[in-house]
Amino acid sequence: MGFLGFGKEDTIVDLVNDLPTSGPTVLSLKALDFIVPGEWNNPTNFDEMLRVVTEEEDEEFLESVKNRAIELYNDKSEGYQSAIRIYSRIDTSDKALGTAAFADKLSQSFSLLSFLDYLTPKADTAQTIDLTLKVIAELLAFTKINGIPGDSIGDFVGALGDYAGEAKMRMVALLCFDGLIPLGPDFISLGMGALEGLTSSELEESDTFSSISEYVPGGDSDGKLGFIREGFAATQEWMSNFVAEHDLSADKVVSNLKNYVDVSDDKLDYLAAFLDMFTNYFRHTGTQTTAIRLIERAVNEV
């Protein structure tokens, strides 16, 4: 299993079982546990996930649910494979260099300092656009997993308050790693401002947009840009409320990240670049979300 992509024949069982139990993604997410304590325990074994989700021990029943989940995932008329592609692509578009050298040095606690020479922080505009597109990617994956039209913005916004577990952790990571750390406390207004000033031709230059463009409703680039603006605008209140309710700040997030990442306070741009390049929290937790939703549906169909 490669770091950046899924094998063509992978089942949902393979995807879950191949998720790492440690490494930069897992450690970075663990650093956010102080925000949503106990919400995420990094399930990386499909059979164990089956037992937790179903609360069943009967092996015959569990095998039937597992087989149905695999069938549903393999059915291309369903949206589960598309959701996995969206989660994966939104992460891989960030990656500007390989990870072999980093992997050689990886341990339970890792230092960012030795990698600063390899990292180039994104321009603020690019970082801001990436933030908005990650919100849209979550919206699109949500609609695929739930089998509803891709433009169901209201359904997505209504569901955000019910997010739990790995899905909630993914949104926390989005707010912290793609919002607060690189852009500061005004990241929401910066995102909306960037979208309002963006042209469709500028949008087309974004690798992040290109990676998910086929799934974005709206027809042409102008229409897709309109959808992105509408979708991000609709999530502003939820994001603002979440940040306020949890009294989040870049300082608090970085303070907890320092338990795992050796970085100085004046290198936050580089920390953001590190998180972009060496973590894939969307793909990781997105795989878990997709698998859990598949199991929940399979239970009802067995």
Per-residue pLDDT reduced to its tens digit, 219-237:
999 999 999 999 999 999 9
Task: Say how far apart CA 111 and CA 107 lie, in whole Å.
Answer: 9
pLDDT confidence of residue 127: 87
Please identify which residue in the block is written with the tokens 């102080």.
34
pLDDT single digits (tens) 121-157: 667 788 899 999 999 999 999 999 999 998 899 999 9
Task: Say how far apart CA 144 and CA 33 lie, in whole Å.
Answer: 28
Contact 140, 215 (CB under 8 A): yes
Task: Say which range, 34-38, 175-179, 205-209, 257-261, has the weakest mean pLDDT.
Answer: 257-261
Contact 36, 167 (CB under 8 A): no
pLDDT single digits (tens) 46-55: 999 999 999 9
List Cβ neighbours of 55 (8 Å cut-off, separation of 6 or more): none
What are the backbone dihedrals phi and psi of residue 33, each rounded to the nearest 5 degrees, phi first? -60, -25
